[in-house]
Amino acid sequence: MIKCVVFDFDGTLYDSNEIKQRAFFDSSSEYAEAHDFLRQLLANPDAGDRYAIFREFAAHLVSLGLSDEAAPELGLKLAKNYSDICFKRISRCKEISGSEATLRSLKQSSLKLYINSATPDEALKALVDSRNISPLFDGILGSSHSKTTNLIFILHKENIMNDQMIMVGDNNADYQSAINVGCHFIGIGESKNAFTTTPHILLPDLTNLSLVIGTISPKR
């Protein structure tokens, strides 16, 4: 039987993907002349987290007149601006339909619940706290480790088999992490385009997630 459900955060529990994308440009509006370069960075799936992206962005600004000495500090400042904007907007954005009710229902059924996100750990925990859902989770894991590493950690911590765990997410990185550890996966979202290969289970939102979880059996 399923014993653990792991959730991505952005785009899975809350409608925050577009907020985070827009925040990159709003937090660096003073340097709009370099936004084409920023778009190139964001189009690269291996660009890294907000700190890596703004570090590269600030380094690029050196070619536009910023001093070498000022670039590292500016990169950190822009990353902080980004984090502040994201916190303010995501802490009050819409949930993905059914998310909070589903989390409470799953918690009452004694399943172990985790968040596994590419958001930096400290920022992620602050966001989860701001939505008043921290008590529902047995662990909140961010980008200090990869999503695959986080799933392996959960398997070991809970002492469960990979086919007793489900990863729930809205993009290919979530799906790939589930494939890497051999656990079940449920995709969330209206479009198949977020996935290189369409998941076997793809739901528009979390409204019926509890029912679907009840139909999943161990693979062995």
pLDDT, residue 100, reads 97
Q: What is the DSSP letter of 165?
A: E
Q: What is the mean pLDDT of the chain?
A: 95
pLDDT, residue 63, reads 93
State yes or no: pLDDT of 54 exceeds 60.
Answer: yes
CA separation for the pair 201, 156 (Å, rounded): 25
CA separation for the pair 172, 81 (Å, rounded): 28
**Predicted confidence band at 220 (pLDDT cuts at 50, 70, 90)?**
low
**Phi and psi at residue 141, in whole multiples of 5°?**
-115, 125
pLDDT digits (tens, 9 = 90+) for 116-145: 999 999 999 999 999 999 999 999 999 999
CB burial of 73-99 (b: ≥16 within 10 Å; e: otherwise) equals ebbeebbebbbebbeebbeeeebbebb
- Residue 153, H or E segment: helix 147-158
CB 194 within 8 A of CB 171: yes
pLDDT digits (tens, 9 = 90+) for 155-207: 999 999 999 999 999 999 999 999 999 999 999 998 777 898 999 999 999 99
Structure token pair of residue 72: 């590292």
Cβ count within 10 A of residue 156: 9
pTM of the model: 0.92
Specify burial of residue 3 (Cβ count, 10 A radius: 0-12, 13-18, 19+).
middle
Mean pLDDT for 90-109 is 97
